[in-house]
Amino acid sequence: MCGIVGYVGDRDASQILLKGLKRLEYRGYDSAGIVLINGGLKYCKGKGKVEKLGKMLKQNALAGTIGIGHTRWATHGEPNDVNSHPHLSESGKIAVVHNGIIENYTSLKKQLIERGRTFQSQTDTEVAAQLLEEIYTTSKGVTFEEAIRLALKQIVGTYGLAIVHTDRPDRIFIARKGSPLLLGIGDDEMFIASDASPIVEYTNKVIYLDDGEMAIVTKDNYEVKTIDDVALTKEVHELAISLDAIEKAGYPHFMLKEIFEQPRSIADCMRGRVNPDNGAIQLGGIEDVLDELVNARRIVIAACGTSWHSGLVGEYLFEYLAKTPVEVEYASEFRYRDPLIGKGDALLVISQSGETADTLAALREAKRRGALTLGICNVVGSTISRETDAGVFTHAGPEIGVASTKAFTAQVVVLMMMALAVGKRKGVLRQEQMLMYTKELAKIPSKVEYILEHIDEPVRKISGLFTYAPNFLYLGRSYNFPVALEGALKLKEISYIHAEGYPAAEMKHGPIALIDEMMPVVVIAATDHTNDKMISNIEEVKARKGRIISIMNDENSDVEDLSEFHISIPSTKDCFSPLLTVIPLQLLSYYIAVNRGCNVDQPRNLAKSVTVE
């Protein structure tokens, strides 16, 4: 949610910032801007995408070797030129870019206006710039760094901030509370960013700032401190992601690339962890707490969006394979209840980005109450992955498309491995079962590959027939009920078609009223143990002339006969089927969105990583 980039060195800063913003654009794309120090502050910003900013910079080039930039997902104030970042103080000497929300900005702004300051924008960020300037110019003997510390003490809310001042033209100041920031260390140059994507091409040495920390960054040095001015020595991490992983590699969209990467990402997720020869599951990240997890009274899973859907699959998996009671919560609801969780419980948070504000808050709440906390994250070094007691990375590689695809399947694979590991340690799964499950799991990547090779064309054809459908219904049972939810979410977020997912039998309790000859109904009929029941549900749809598109296992003639369209996929164990059934749904939503001319990778109003509440 919003992207920050910064550069100080000897190169043309505007080009580095522009390229960095392009890579960060998946985090927000309402407006973009950069500011450079060169004598005074030189800036260029405006509503619209980074491409537009690029065109503006072509007409009015900015020269300089130090600067900061921002791509915005609007929280305060509509997306327009004035509300775009950077925001300057009244004198035009201080510029600020900001991720997060300043919760007390109304009262701070009121006080600043009463003291004579005038504001240009409706944003909370401008308040930070103005407050900072007021403190710096009115407090005797206070350095700019001290002024930042004093301002931050008055700010309530969350921030990732990058600040420049013409009085200190060789440095960038950054500070973090709640919104991620990292520092990339180059040779005589430094980079700042809200995630690693703009940095990988220049350096793999990074420092992650933690909450309550700030840094002063020059081209050949950095100092990290707490905002109370205590100097810190931070670990320098090595980035493992490559440049290829964050580029489109010939695909028209990141989403399509990421869908087609799934045979590899699923295999990467299992690599070194699933051994079909001896039936073992080895999850190094949770090995030390496995007994505690096995003995947990229950597991509470908290997540948002697609990650919440994978959590729902996890509920079925843990109950079936490990006989462990599981509850799945929306992280946003969990954090504001008075959740009955504590010692003896395990909280498992799932997050692709590892930065989702609600999920992070749920984690902190459960930790405060004494629960064991575990994480499933994709982004190495992310806040959630660093704050959980233990966890498992999905290793799906960077996911850039706003609609989550390969992260979902990787999360589900991790949940499968975890449930198997717990089931085995608990003694509820026998060795021959472990052999059977691990053998089947190991076949999943090639089955996904087979699906992608064989269904792309049929799905594309079906998508053409339903491009302008105003509504869609998705039905699934058991392990595939969450897949129905996920299919509906994918369609609505990238094509803007209203879609709902339901457990198939629940349809009778209301949604059946929607079914007529105009309503496409996607049924996921690839779970053997519910097959007969699913067939009855399909009959119910057919009787009301709904247009049935079924996802079914090869050779299920009953389902095939009832469906107007069917997509056949290979069969697997019921508990692994979400990994296969979700693939056609991802492609269906992708092609429908493309047919409708939607911006698949950057759907309206959305951002990849939701770091505000």
Closer CB to ligand M6R, 14 or 609, in the complex: 609
* 508 exposure class (CB count in 10 Å sphere: 0-12, 13-18, 19+): exposed
Amino acid letter, residue 328: V
Q: Is 608 a catalytic residue?
A: yes
Query: Which residues is 94 bridged to in the sheet?
Result: 165
Distances (CA, A) of 196 to 8, 204, 266: 16, 9, 22
Q: Looking at 2, 377, 575, 598, which residue is catalytic?
A: 2
**Three-state DSSP class for 330?**
strand
* 359 exposure class (CB count in 10 Å sphere: 0-12, 13-18, 19+): buried
In Å, the largest CA–CA distance within the chain is: 83
Instruction: Give the one residue of 487, 609, 611, 612 binding ligand M6R; rule: CB under 6 A.
Output: 609
> At its nearest, how many Å lie between ligand M6R and the CB of residue 310?
9
Query: Any contact of residue 372 with ligand M6R (CB under 6 A)?
Result: no
Closer CB to ligand M6R, 219 or 608, in the complex: 608
Binding mask 309-348 toward ligand M6R (x if CB under 6 A, else -) reads: ----------------------------------------
Instruction: Give buried/exposed letters for 67-94 (b at 16+ CB in 10 A, else e).
Output: bbbbbbbbbbbebeebbbbbbbbbeebb
In angstroms, the CA 222 to CA 577 distance is 50
Q: Looking at 45, 93, 490, 608, which residue is catalytic?
A: 608
> At its nearest, how many Å lie between ligand M6R and the CB of residue 301?
12
Q: Which stretch binds ligand M6R (CB under 6 A): 174-182, 238-246, 273-281, 603-611?
A: 603-611
In angstroms, the CA 522 to CA 488 distance is 9
**Residue 414 belongs to what H/E stretch?**
helix 406-426
Binding mask 477-506 toward ligand M6R (x if CB under 6 A, else -) reads: ------------x---x-------------
Name residues contacting ligand M6R, limited to 208-247 (CB under 6 A). Answer: none
Instruction: Give the one residue of 158, 194, 352, 385 binding ligand M6R; rule: CB under 6 A.
Output: 352
Closer CB to ligand M6R, 162 or 396, in the complex: 396
Query: Any contact of residue 263 with ligand M6R (CB under 6 A)?
Result: no
Question: How big is the chain by its Cα radius of gyration, in Å?
Answer: 25
Closer CB to ligand M6R, 89 or 480, in the complex: 480
Dihedral sign from CA coordinates of 613, 286, 208, 33: negative
Q: Which residue, judged by CB position, is nearest to ligand M6R in the bound state?
A: 305
**Three-state DSSP class for 495?**
helix
**Peptide linkage before 86 cis (omega within 30 of 0):** yes
Please answer whether residues 256 and 408 qualify as being in contact, where contact means their C-beta atoms are separated by less than 8 angstroms.
no
Please answer whether residues 318 and 326 qualify as being in contact, where contact means their C-beta atoms are separated by less than 8 angstroms.
yes
Query: Any contact of residue 359 with ligand M6R (CB under 6 A)?
Result: yes
Complete edge-to-edge strand list for the sheet that includes strand 66-72: 40-47, 31-38, 66-72, 3-8, 190-193, 182-185, 205-208, 237-238
Closer CB to ligand M6R, 129 or 489, in the complex: 489
Query: Any contact of residue 265 with ligand M6R (CB under 6 A)?
Result: no
Name residues contacting ligand M6R, limited to 271-310 (CB under 6 A). Answer: 304-307
Closer CB to ligand M6R, 378 or 438, in the complex: 378
> At its nearest, how many Å lie between ligand M6R and the CB of residue 172?
27
> At its nearest, how many Å lie between ligand M6R and the CB of residue 402?
5
> At its nearest, how many Å lie between ligand M6R and the CB of residue 391?
13
Shortest CA distance to 150 belongs to which of 168, 164, 167, 133? Answer: 133
Query: What is the separation of C-alpha 9 from the centre of its chain, rounded to a whole number of angstroms?
Result: 31
Binding mask 100-139 toward ligand M6R (x if CB under 6 A, else -) reads: ----------------------------------------
User: Number of residues in contact with ligand M6R, rule: CB under 6 A?
Assistant: 17
Name residues contacting ligand M6R, limited to 378-407 (CB under 6 A). Answer: 402-404
Closer CB to ligand M6R, 332 or 572, in the complex: 332
Instruction: Give the one residue of 353, 373, 394, 537 binding ligand M6R; rule: CB under 6 A.
Output: 353
Instruction: Give the one residue of 71, 83, 125, 356 binding ligand M6R; rule: CB under 6 A.
Output: 356
Closer CB to ligand M6R, 13 or 494, in the complex: 494
Structure tokens belonging to residue 340? 């009955």
Shortest CA distance to 80 belongs to which of 151, 19, 31? Answer: 31
Residues that bind ligand M6R (CB under 6 A): 304-307, 351-353, 356, 359, 402-404, 489, 493, 606, 609-610
Which residues are designated catalytic?
2, 608
